[in-house]
Amino acid sequence: MLSAFANSLKIPELRQRIFFTFSLIFLCRILTAVPAPGVSTAALREVMASLNDTAGGAMQMANLFSGGALERFAIGALGIMPYISASIIIQLMTAVVPSLERLSREGESGRGKINQYTRYLTLLLCGIQGFSIASVALNAHLTFGLSQPVVIIDPWAFRILATVALTASTMLMMWLGEQITERGIGNGVSLIITVNILGSLPLALAAAKQMFFPGNGIVPTHSLFHLVTLIVLFFLVVAATVAITQATRRIPVQYARRVVGRKTYGGQSTYMPLKVNYAGVMPIIFAQAILMALAGGLKFAGDKFDIEKMQIAAGWFQFGSTPSMWVYGVMILFFSYFWVATQFNPVQIADDLKRNGGYIPGIRPGTPTANFLDNVMTRITLAGALSLTFIAVIPTLLGKHFNINFIITSFFGGTSLLIIVGVILDTMRQIESHLLNRHYDGFLQKGKLRGRR
């Protein structure tokens, strides 16, 4: 594998793509460090330290995806997540809106229009979220009882400046991600999110060192047994995440032989890979968003109208409590099937196979093929959804039962680990395709130049 990385730098085009990608990622990291105008950084740190578990779960997750920009209220505090949200919304609408579905079938021109709609929606979401975050920052010192205000300039001037700065930064990150996809090594937006998450790794290691080896004669809060257990558990969870990300069910497909003139087409055997975790990380994102919105809405309504039952219900749905974990798991199962139902179309796949002269051995073309694919996808989605649920709840269980900091547990499962593993595997495939095209071995074999003596 190390020789494969070395070979990557021997190909001029691939070397240029790698350096270009690193330079744009460096620009994205700069955006997460430049503070927004009119903000007191000391007050911001006090806010992040005083967050309760419910708000902390949402805020800490958003801070993780922004690469720590949210706690600094940097101009990159929104990160690239508005673009991801807009892409998810447009993708779901494509499955249910006939006009968008027709656009998706029109090839490159249709996809270009859908991408344009995604950018417009991203701009709208950035304006809404930026203005909301600015408004929250204005009242943060009252909400959390701080000794000093977070905003030190005129309120409306701050709202306008912060909204414009946050929106412009996110749109710039979106453009940089597209440039990485086109002129870099691919997966531009996903790479930006991954690098932002990995940006918290030094803080996680420092927190782990403080937990197990505090020094200065301070008694550690956890024993070495807990440290060994965490290390073993980390490798097991990473291995399980890679396995569930790579797992596929191969459906054999046979193409009929056709003779057109003097040429013979078809006749070969291949397979159709159906991913066990077809929905990827989407069920976790949906479940987290709804659960936290539900808890926040109940708490706000209970405090606003002084309704005791709503306040009690807000405690039930507080992220990390036992009832919320049961609801969280059920929602992950539901959204796994929901995503497959909206994105996987067995009727269309069966029609495409029939049109191209392909069939599944033992299954009649047409409706029987569609029913067979639907049954297979239903069964393997259950296995994928259960595995996804297990991976998603690991950080919460570690944090609750072993009293471990969120920044440490976020690397043991959940959304962050699934994103990191998926993006790294996809990026390795992109680099490996360039190596194989230049007659180099990939990451799975010893790196050497083929065909030379």
The CATH fold of domain 14-198: Preprotein translocase SecY subunit (1.10.3370)
Higher pLDDT, 137 or 129: 129
253: burial class by Cβ within 10 Å (0-12, 13-18, 19+)? middle
Top-confidence residue, 265 or 309: 309
List Cβ neighbours of 310 (8 Å cut-off, separation of 6 or more).
Answer: 298, 299, 301, 302
Q: Which two tokens stand for residue 359?
A: 């069939």
Distances from the Cα of 302 to the Cαs of 69, 297, 322, in angstroms?
A: 31, 8, 21
Reported as a single tens digit per residue, the pLDDT across 176-196 is: 999 998 898 888 888 998 898
pLDDT at 54: 40
Q: Lowest-confidence range among 236-250, 312-326, 371-385?
A: 312-326
Distance, CA of 295 to CA of 317 (rounded, Å): 5
What pLDDT does residue 452 have? 40
User: What does the pLDDT average to over 200-209?
Assistant: 84
Per-residue model confidence (pLDDT) at position 439: 62
User: What mean pLDDT is reported for the chain?
Assistant: 82
Q: Cα separations (Å) of 113 from 118, 175, 189, 233, 241?
A: 9, 16, 19, 45, 35
How many C-beta neighbours within 10 Å does residue 394 have? 20
* pLDDT for the residue 126: 92
What pLDDT was estimated at residue 205? Answer: 85
Asked whether the beta carbons of 34 and 158 are under 8 A apart, the reply is: no
pTM (two decimals): 0.81
Position 48 pLDDT exceeds 70: no
Q: What percent of the chain has pLDDT over 70?
A: 87
Q: Which residue has the higher pLDDT, 444 or 305?
A: 305
412 DSSP assignment: G
Q: What residues pair up with 252 in beta bridges, in sequence order?
A: 271
Tens digits of residue pLDDT in 323-368: 888 888 898 999 899 888 888 889 989 998 888 888 888 889 889 9
pLDDT at 132: 86
Reply yes or no on whether the pLDDT at 47 is more than 80: no
pLDDT score for 442: 57
Q: What's the order of all strands across the beta sheet hosting 248-255? A: 269-275, 248-255, 358-359
Q: How far is CA 76 from CA 65, 186, 210, in A?
A: 11, 22, 29
Cβ–Cβ under 8 Å, residues 169 and 76: yes
Weakest-pLDDT range from 32-46, 132-146, 186-200: 132-146
* Domain layout of the chain by residue ranges: 14-198
Q: Give the mean pLDDT of 205-222.
A: 78
pLDDT value at residue 121: 93
